[in-house]
């Protein structure tokens, strides 16, 4: 089960013609897919479109009613490959994954798909993970559209525009026999708003119908000589068809006055940011009525030359707002202008930065710089000639600490890294590669364990250069998500085949946890529509790994340490794989907490563990924190003039995972930690026994205190 | 220098849109808060748009939520998807340093921003991991907020919420309502909580607490609990001794007394009144070398650190503290256990051979420590950590027995070692008094470096030796005391002592 449930929201997907839907972008996209008679959907989770997969998964019942097939694909490549159904059959299909990394993985299938061309509309919904909040390298998916030739939609970020783009995308795809990529940026996925719905549409041809009447056409196979024909077909037929459709249906939009000496060309997704800058300069009102003409590219590939030419008519200055680099659009527009021999100044990456997110300030600065050159009289006086300095706000950059993401409270991965840290202290530093997933946080303080990551499931593959061995074995991390995505073949298979002598630690937390807790093959949860419970260790054996150690309780830090120690020092030659399994605490708590509360209410015996620190025993060295970093393990200053440093302190968010006690023990730290189990609804015997113990203990305490001075703090 | 675009400029036309950003730490429930604000605005006939960033970058990291709204009109407004510097009307920061981050990012400006902050701290890893005190200075953030915000409401919203069995999103929502920053009535806010349908009653109570605080302008109504008073009880004979010791403290200069009394309490609590008398003897020697012209700095440092040195952390002390009556009461309170609940305790002990040997009589312990064979034997015996279920009698009795070794403590190897170390440190430090008073004070303060148990303790000792050892290089320099302080602070920056080594290199470079 995914971290977030959309069961309640999914009911809104049943809305019919004329109703108003209010909610998040991803739900709106799902609704639009159903309204457009999609026949099959799939994808691979990853921010920012993880929740789109969750919505689809939660909407499986509704989709089954409509005859729509939902597939939780094994990877982005698998998802893109699924669109093959639209090559031979007039069925609309949609898949989703994140970009650009998901597009990287999918690119092989996408290239083949684009060469073959499609009969049914094929839509690839990409969540572009770029700018603030992104967790990946900063690149663009745009180039994939250019190289494989599919069309790229980048609609304005509001629900009516995004849902319209879904419809436009399918139709454009069918009109040009080309797949279409619908790009939504990080915030667009979770932007809320409203749009008017239409009835859901049963696909005219369902996948069930299609499989009953199979079709094939060798002209669609990517093999010579057809592949040469495909290339010609792309430029001679599909491209012109696409341009015709885009122009005739006005997919791109023009705003503002018709006659002006200047104008701005903007990616649809950046439109709101541009309008905000103009609003702040007094050049647009709350509703986007602008004094500067805007050519809004809801289709960012291909660029329609005729449309652009018409927009440039009578203008002396045109600015391009294009986020990220390279500046594909600006280069294209520059080439158009040059070939047309126009005397027009093109602005873009000169007034705006080449790289990085176009935040509100960047956009304001860029537009201001453009207008200062192109039309200074449009700018408000205070911008042209400021007469007042901004008030000086003290610089806090030295004070405010950075707060990168990290392991959650009670995370089962924390003790794995604590164990690794202890091994490092004992055996020295090792060559370590990371992988994609929460375990990458191990590379951050306080652990600082791990190195570069080369991609999902590629942790061990990234250590392949060291497979030949040496004085110290290399260690690679791999998550269960990465293992099933790509790791089994590309990493583990690679190690077995090349007789690697290195060590792999597979972090098995029962979910694809970093993307929001979706199930994977080895998940322990019962899943009505998916096959779970396939152990990683069985797969390892299957590909020929002989040295496998399964740790079923990662919180046993000593065991993690000793097992890793063994893997690093054993005489055994060949890949050594440790599977460290414990459930993701975020998901475990979400599952268990309501059950526990219910049980307490019902009067059943429940034992709730939590950790604590004896403040008078803690000396304030914080060694425990350097082996933990748990959010619930914090510090507090004591009201004691004799103390200089704050002491460790565990707040009430502690889930009693046990890491603190294990680390204190394994690292021989200090005796200030204790675990307190609060027993709710104890049995009569337990209560009687506890009373007896308490009487004896109290008597012993009284006996001792009668003989010496007692300093007691009394709260007045 | 460019002038900020003012919200009030006549030529600006975006005056209808209200822009509100929330800065929180992942897991604080910022999503719930933004959801409430959104449903509130929609219910009040506003059009609005909320955005957030979901995904792995949320996990315990700094996150931001953003919402824009305006009264519904015939046309649809164009909202931005993220806050811009200098363009935020209301900023809610769910933690003290997030208040700072909001200011740093320019989201709080004097011309327009209502800043609602929670003064509680969720410490960042970098603040917690330092071996010393790495906690960021909240005072600087408050000072900056006073300048940056048009209006600033600050209260411990986390405490207000937990006091009412709820979470911070509810008290912040209350503070937003109480601030009057949004054109909606209190009832409308409460309706948004009710329509959410989860934990409504607790949320409403926390909401009310937040509302009241904000309405008062950000001062919390209930004051902090008064400092506890100390009550001293015991057998008559010891009380007499104690009174005598107290009288001796009163003989000390006033500023020293303030440190000497808690020091004395700590030492007597650690052992007995006779030991307390030893403490005062040592302290009186220090004070004899001190003068009022130096503000009694030497005496104060002596009072503090001699007490610390005399109350070393041995097994006996730990066992004593773990078996005291008030402890269980305190734990029950901290864990929120009700009378009908039982509380079971597990203690994590992992004494090494060194700790066991240090419990032996002084000469025997020294012999064992000197013999690798015997230490190996002890190591084998105590290789595994001990988990004591201290609510059960067998475990409690073990601890109780260990605590009863107090009478034997003065004869242990550990005491001999500690005493020798203490005397050497005190003598070395005081020897400097005439020559360089400031340096002598800093030498006393170096005692701060010794803390922890096992390896941590050993590391602390070696850092202490390193820092104090630099005295020979520094002696005679006018800035010797200052450098000694810098060395100590460097030693507290990281566990391995990298910063300290760097600082020592610097010292070596100029002597």
Q: Which domains does chain B have, with CATH numbers?
A: 18-215 (3.40.920.10)
Residues of chain A neighbouring B454 (CB-CB closer than 8 A): 668-670
> How close does chain A come to B400, measured CA to CA in Å?
8
Model confidence at A392, pLDDT cuts 50, 70, 90, reads: confident
Q: Distance between CA atoms of B198 and B186, rounded to whole angstroms?
A: 19
> Coil, strand or helix: which one is B266?
helix
Model confidence at A3, pLDDT cuts 50, 70, 90, reads: confident
> How close does chain A come to B96, measured CA to CA in Å?
9
Model confidence at A467, pLDDT cuts 50, 70, 90, reads: very high
Model confidence at B383, pLDDT cuts 50, 70, 90, reads: confident
pLDDT above 70: percentage of residues in chain A: 99
Residue in chain A closest to B165 (alpha carbons) equals: A652
How do beta strands A345-347 and A432-433 pair? unpaired
Residue B59 at interface with chain A, using a CB cutoff of 8 Å: yes
> Coil, strand or helix: which one is B487?
helix
Model confidence at B221, pLDDT cuts 50, 70, 90, reads: very low
A residues 625..644 contacting B (CB < 8 A): 625-626, 629, 631, 633-635, 637, 639-642, 644
| Angle between helices B480-491 and B437-445 in degrees, nearest 10 | 10
ipTM of the shown complex: 0.93
Q: Which residues contact A285 (CB under 8 A, 6 or more apart)?
A: A279, B13, B14
B339 pLDDT higher than 60: yes
B466 pLDDT higher than 50: yes
Q: What are B90-122's pLDDT values in tens digits?
A: 999 999 999 999 999 999 999 999 999 999 999
Q: What are A522-535's pLDDT values in tens digits?
A: 999 888 899 999 99
Model confidence at A390, pLDDT cuts 50, 70, 90, reads: low
pLDDT above 90: percentage of residues in chain B: 82
Please give the DSSP secondary-structure letter assigned to residue A211: H
Give the pLDDT score at A515. Answer: 87
The minimal CB distance from A621 to the residues B131, B263, B400 is found for B131
Q: Which residues contact A492 (CB under 8 A, 6 or more apart)?
A: A460, A478, A483, A504, A540, A543, A545, A575, A577
Q: Which residues contact B213 (CB under 8 A, 6 or more apart)?
A: B153, B155, B157, B160, B171, B174, B175, B178, B219, B220, B221
A700 pLDDT higher than 90: yes
Give the pLDDT score at A1. Answer: 57
* Phi, then psi, of A60 in degrees rounded to 5: -55, -40
Residues of chain A neighbouring B331 (CB-CB closer than 8 A): 612, 674, 676
**Do A176 and A239 form a contact (C-beta atoms < 8 A)?**
yes
**Do B267 and B282 form a contact (C-beta atoms < 8 A)?**
no
Residue in chain B closest to A284 (alpha carbons) equals: B13
Q: Distance between CA atoms of A169 and B247, rounded to whole angstroms?
A: 89
A residues 206..225 contacting B (CB < 8 A): none
* Phi, then psi, of B489 in degrees rounded to 5: -65, -35
Q: What are A117-134's pLDDT values in tens digits?
A: 999 999 999 999 999 888
B1 pLDDT higher than 60: no
> Exposure of B250 by Cβ count < 10 A (0-12 exposed, 13-18 middle, 19+ buried)?
exposed
pLDDT above 90: percentage of residues in chain A: 87
Residue A428 at interface with chain B, using a CB cutoff of 8 Å: no
Residues of chain B neighbouring A664 (CB-CB closer than 8 A): 348, 350, 385
Residue B398 at interface with chain A, using a CB cutoff of 8 Å: no
Q: What are B58-69's pLDDT values in tens digits?
A: 677 888 999 999
Closest CA to A21 of A212, A240, A197, A237: A197
User: Token pair for residue A132?
Assistant: 């603030």
Give the pLDDT score at A572. Answer: 96
Give the pLDDT score at A711. Answer: 86
Give the pLDDT score at B312. Answer: 96
A404 pLDDT higher than 90: no
A217 pLDDT higher than 50: yes
Higher pLDDT residue, B448 or B220?
A: B448
B54 pLDDT higher than 90: no
Model confidence at B220, pLDDT cuts 50, 70, 90, reads: low
The minimal CB distance from B58 to the residues A359, A360, A405 is found for A405
Residue A706 at interface with chain B, using a CB cutoff of 8 Å: yes
**Do B488 and B445 form a contact (C-beta atoms < 8 A)?**
yes
Give the pLDDT score at B15. Answer: 64
Model confidence at B226, pLDDT cuts 50, 70, 90, reads: low
Model confidence at B2, pLDDT cuts 50, 70, 90, reads: very low
**Do B66 and B82 form a contact (C-beta atoms < 8 A)?**
yes
Q: Distance between CA atoms of A144 and B214, rounded to whole angstroms?
A: 52
Q: Do B265 and A711 touch (CB under 8 A)?
A: yes
> Exposure of B461 by Cβ count < 10 A (0-12 exposed, 13-18 middle, 19+ buried)?
middle
Q: Distance between CA atoms of B383 and B133, rounded to whole angstroms?
A: 32
Residues of chain A neighbouring B52 (CB-CB closer than 8 A): 187, 190
Give the pLDDT score at B4. Answer: 47
Instruction: State the average pLDDT for chain B.
Output: 91
- The conformational region for residue A48 under phi > 0 = left, psi -120 to 50 = alpha, else beta, is alpha
The minimal CB distance from A286 to the residues B4, B14, B259 is found for B14
Model confidence at A273, pLDDT cuts 50, 70, 90, reads: very high
Q: Do A612 and B331 touch (CB under 8 A)?
A: yes
Residue B263 at interface with chain A, using a CB cutoff of 8 Å: yes
Q: Distance between CA atoms of A596 and A605, rounded to whole angstroms?
A: 10
Q: CA separation (Å) from A588 to A460, A510, A585, A655?
A: 28, 10, 5, 10
B168 pLDDT higher than 50: yes
Q: Do B335 and A409 touch (CB under 8 A)?
A: no
> Exposure of A435 by Cβ count < 10 A (0-12 exposed, 13-18 middle, 19+ buried)?
buried
Residue A187 at interface with chain B, using a CB cutoff of 8 Å: yes
For residue A100, say if its preceding peptide bond is cis, omega within 30 degrees of 0.
yes
Model confidence at B8, pLDDT cuts 50, 70, 90, reads: very low
Domains of chain A as residue ranges with CATH: 7-248 (3.40.50.970), 254-378 (3.40.50.920), 414-587 (3.40.50.970), 606-703 (3.30.70.20)
Q: Which residues contact A673 (CB under 8 A, 6 or more apart)?
A: A611, A612, A613, A624, A660, A661, A664, B347, B348
> Coil, strand or helix: which one is A440?
helix
**Do A444 and A413 form a contact (C-beta atoms < 8 A)?**
no
**Do B352 and A668 form a contact (C-beta atoms < 8 A)?**
yes
> How close does chain B come to A292, measured CA to CA in Å?
15
A567 pLDDT higher than 70: yes
Residues of chain A neighbouring B391 (CB-CB closer than 8 A): 690, 693
Residue B51 at interface with chain A, using a CB cutoff of 8 Å: yes
Give the pLDDT score at B357. Answer: 94
Number of neighbouring beta carbons within 10 Å of residue B431 = 12
Instruction: State the average pLDDT for chain A.
Output: 94
User: Token pair for residue A488?
Assistant: 């089994």
The minimal CB distance from A693 to the residues B63, B337, B393 is found for B393
Q: Distance between CA atoms of B350 and A417, rounded to whole angstroms?
A: 21
A714 pLDDT higher than 90: no
Model confidence at A6, pLDDT cuts 50, 70, 90, reads: confident
Which of A642, A661, A679, A706 is the best substitution to test chain B (most B C-beta atoms within 10 A)?
A: A642
Model confidence at A454, pLDDT cuts 50, 70, 90, reads: very high
A713 pLDDT higher than 80: no
A688 pLDDT higher than 80: yes
- The conformational region for residue A517 under phi > 0 = left, psi -120 to 50 = alpha, else beta, is left
pTM for the predicted model, two decimal places: 0.92
> How close does chain B come to A557, measured CA to CA in Å?
12
> Coil, strand or helix: which one is A38?
coil
Q: CA separation (Å) from A233 to A111, A181, A220, A237, B118?
A: 15, 19, 11, 5, 62
Q: Distance between CA atoms of A437 and A455, rounded to whole angstroms?
A: 10
Q: Distance between CA atoms of A112 and A122, rounded to whole angstroms?
A: 13
Q: What are A107-116's pLDDT values in tens digits?
A: 999 999 999 9
Q: Do B77 and A287 touch (CB under 8 A)?
A: yes
Strands annotated E in A516-605 = 547-551, 576-581
Give the pLDDT score at B227. Answer: 61
Buried b vs exposed e over A132-149: b needs ≥16 C-beta within 10 Å? ebbbbeebbbbebbeebb
Place of tokens 């990085």: A356
Q: Distance between CA atoms of A92 and A86, rounded to whole angstroms?
A: 6
Model confidence at A388, pLDDT cuts 50, 70, 90, reads: low
User: How many angstroms from the chain centroid is the CA of residue B79?
Assistant: 42
Give the pLDDT score at A135. Answer: 86
Give the pLDDT score at B12. Answer: 42
């Amino acid at each position: 089960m995914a971290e977030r449930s959309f069961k309640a929201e999914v009911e809104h997907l049943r809305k019919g013609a004329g109703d108003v839907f209010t909610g998040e972008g991803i739900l709106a996209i799902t609704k639009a897919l159903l309204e457009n008679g999609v026949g099959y959907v799939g994808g691979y989770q990853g921010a920012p479109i993880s929740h789109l997969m969750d919505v689809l998964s939660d909407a499986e019942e509704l989709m089954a009613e409509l005859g729509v097939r939902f597939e939780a694909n094994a990877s982005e490549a698998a998802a893109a490959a699924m669109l093959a159904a639209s090559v031979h059959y007039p069925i609309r299909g949609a898949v989703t994954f994140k970009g650009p990394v998901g597009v990287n993985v999918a690119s092989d299938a996408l290239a083949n798909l684009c060469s073959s061309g499609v009969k049914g509309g094929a839509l690839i919904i990409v969540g572009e993970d770029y700018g603030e909040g992104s967790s990946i390298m900063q690149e663009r998916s745009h180039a994939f559209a250019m190289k494989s030739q599919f069309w790229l939609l980048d609609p304005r970020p509001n629900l009516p525009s995004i849902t319209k783009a879904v419809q436009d995308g399918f139709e454009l795809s069918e009109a040009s026999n080309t797949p279409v990529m619908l790009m939504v940026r990080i915030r667009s996925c979770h932007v809320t708003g409203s749009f008017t719905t239409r009835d859901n549409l049963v696909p005219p041809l369902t996948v069930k119908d299609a499989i009953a009447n199979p079709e094939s056409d060798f002209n669609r196979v990517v093999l010579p000589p057809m592949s040469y024909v495909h290339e010609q077909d792309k430029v001679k037929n599909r491209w012109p068809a696409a341009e015709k459709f885009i122009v005739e249906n006005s997919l791109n939009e023009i705003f503002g006055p018709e006659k002006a000496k200047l104008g701005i060309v903007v990616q649809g997704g950046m439109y709101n940011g541009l309008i905000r800058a103009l609003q702040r300069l007094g050049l647009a009102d709350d509703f986007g009525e602008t004094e500067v003409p805007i050519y809004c590219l809801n289709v960012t590939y291909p660029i329609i030359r005729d449309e652009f030419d018409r927009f440039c008519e009578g203008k002396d200055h045109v600015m391009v707002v294009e986020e990220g680099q390279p500046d594909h659009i600006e280069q294209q527009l520059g080439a158009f202008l040059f070939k047309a021999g126009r005397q027009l100044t093109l602005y873009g990456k000169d007034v705006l930065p080449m790289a990085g997110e176009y935040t509100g300030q960047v956009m304001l600065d860029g537009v201001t710089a453009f207008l200062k050159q192109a039309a200074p009289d449009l700018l408000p006086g205070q911008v042209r000639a400021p007469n007042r300095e901004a008030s000086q706000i003290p610089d806090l950059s030295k004070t405010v600490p950075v707060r990168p993401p990290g392991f959650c409270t009670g995370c089962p991965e924390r003790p794995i890294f604590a164990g690794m840290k202890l091994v490092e202290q004992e055996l020295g530093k090792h060559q370590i590669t990371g992988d994609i997933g929460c375990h990458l946080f191990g590379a951050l303080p306080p652990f600082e364990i791990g190195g570069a990551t080369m991609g999902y499931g590629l942790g061990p593959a990234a250590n392949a250069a060291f497979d030949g061995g040496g004085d110290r074995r290399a260690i690679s991390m791999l998550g269960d998500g990465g293992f099933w995505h790509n790791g089994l073949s590309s990493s583990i298979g690679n190690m077995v085949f090349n007789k690697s002598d290195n060590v792999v630690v597979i972090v098995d937390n029962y979910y694809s946890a970093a993307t929001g807790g979706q199930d994977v093959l080895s998940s322990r949860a019962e899943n009505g529509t998916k096959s779970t419970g396939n152990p990683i260790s069985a797969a390892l054996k299957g590909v020929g790994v002989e040295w496998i150690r399964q740790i079923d309780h990662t919180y046993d830090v000593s065991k993690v340490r000793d097992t890793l120690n063994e893997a690093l020092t054993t005489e055994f030659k060949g890949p050594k794989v440790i599977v460290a399994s414990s459930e993701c605490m975020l998901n475990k708590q979400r599952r268990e907490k309501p059950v526990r509360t219910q049980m307490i209410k019902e009067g059943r015996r429940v034992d709730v563990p939590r950790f604590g620190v004896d403040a008078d025993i803690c000396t304030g060295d914080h060694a425990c924190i350097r082996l933990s970093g748990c959010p619930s393990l914090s510090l507090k200053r004591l009201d004691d003039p004799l103390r200089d440093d704050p002491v460790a302190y565990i707040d009430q968010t502690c889930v009693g995972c046990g890491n603190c006690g294990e680390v204190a023990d394994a690292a021989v730290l200090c005796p200030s930690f204790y675990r307190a189990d609060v027993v709710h609804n104890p049995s009569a015997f337990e209560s009687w026994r506890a009373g007896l113990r308490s009487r004896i203990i109290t008597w012993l305490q009284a006996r001792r205190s009668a003989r010496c001075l007692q300093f007691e703090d009394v709260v007045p | 220098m460019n002038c900020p675009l003012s919200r009030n400029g006549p030529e600006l036309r975006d005056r209808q849109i209200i822009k509100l950003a929330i800065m929180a730490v992942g897991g604080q429930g910022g999503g719930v808060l933004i959801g409430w604000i959104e449903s509130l605005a929609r219910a009040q006939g506003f059009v609005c748009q909320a955005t957030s960033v979901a995904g792995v970058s949320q996990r315990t990291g700094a996150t931001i939520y953003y919402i824009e709204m305006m009264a519904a009109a015939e046309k649809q407004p164009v909202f931005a998807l993220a806050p811009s510097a200098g363009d935020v009307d209301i900023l809610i920061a769910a933690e003290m340093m997030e208040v700072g981050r909001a200011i740093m990012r320019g989201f709080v400006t004097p011309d327009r921003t209502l800043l609602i902050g929670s003064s509680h701290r969720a410490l960042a890893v970098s603040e917690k991991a330092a071996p010393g005190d790495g906690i960021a200075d909240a005072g600087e953030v408050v000072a900056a907020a006073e300048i940056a915000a048009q209006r600033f409401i600050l209260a411990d919203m986390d405490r207000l919420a937990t006091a009412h069995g709820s979470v911070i999103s509810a008290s912040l929502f209350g503070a937003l309502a109480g601030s009057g920053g949004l054109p909606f009535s209190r009832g409308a806010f409460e309706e948004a909580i009710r329509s959410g349908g989860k934990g409504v009653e607790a949320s409403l109570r926390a909401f009310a607490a937040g509302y009241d605080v904000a309405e008062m302008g950000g001062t919390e109504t209930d004051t902090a609990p008064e400092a506890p008073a100390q009550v001293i009880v015991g057998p008559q004979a010891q009380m007499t001794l104690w009174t005598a010791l107290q009288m001796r403290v009163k003989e000390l200069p006033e500023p020293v007394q303030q440190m000497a009394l808690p020091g004395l309490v700590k030492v007597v609590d650690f052992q007995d009144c006779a030991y307390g008398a030893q403490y005062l003897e040592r302290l009186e020697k220090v004070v004899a070398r001190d003068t009022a012209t130096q503000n009694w700095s030497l005496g104060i440092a002596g009072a503090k650190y001699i007490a610390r040195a005399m109350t070393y952390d041995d097994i006996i002390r730990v066992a004593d503290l773990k078996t005291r009556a008030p402890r269980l009461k305190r734990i029950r309170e901290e864990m929120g256990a009700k009378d009908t609940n039982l509380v079971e305790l597990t203690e994590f002990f992992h004494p090494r051979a060194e700790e066991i040997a240090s419990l032996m009589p002084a000469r025997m312990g020294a012999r064992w420590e000197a013999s690798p064979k015997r230490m190996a034997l002890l190591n084998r015996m105590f290789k595994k950590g001990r988990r004591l279920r201290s609510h059960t009698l067998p475990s409690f009795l073990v601890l109780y027995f260990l605590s009863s070794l107090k009478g034997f403590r003065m004869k242990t190897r550990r005491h001999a070692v500690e005493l020798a170390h203490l005397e050497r440190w005190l003598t070395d430090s005081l020897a400097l008094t005439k020559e360089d008073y400031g340096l002598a004070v800093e030498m006393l303060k170096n005692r701060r470096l010794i803390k922890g148990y096992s390896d941590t303790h050993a590391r602390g000792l070696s850092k202490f030796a390193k820092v104090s050892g630099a005295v020979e290089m520094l002696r005679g320099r006018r800035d010797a005391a200052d450098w000694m302080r810098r060395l100590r602070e460097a030693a507290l920056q990281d566990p391995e002592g990298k910063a300290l080594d760097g600082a020592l290199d610097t010292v070596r470079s100029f002597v």
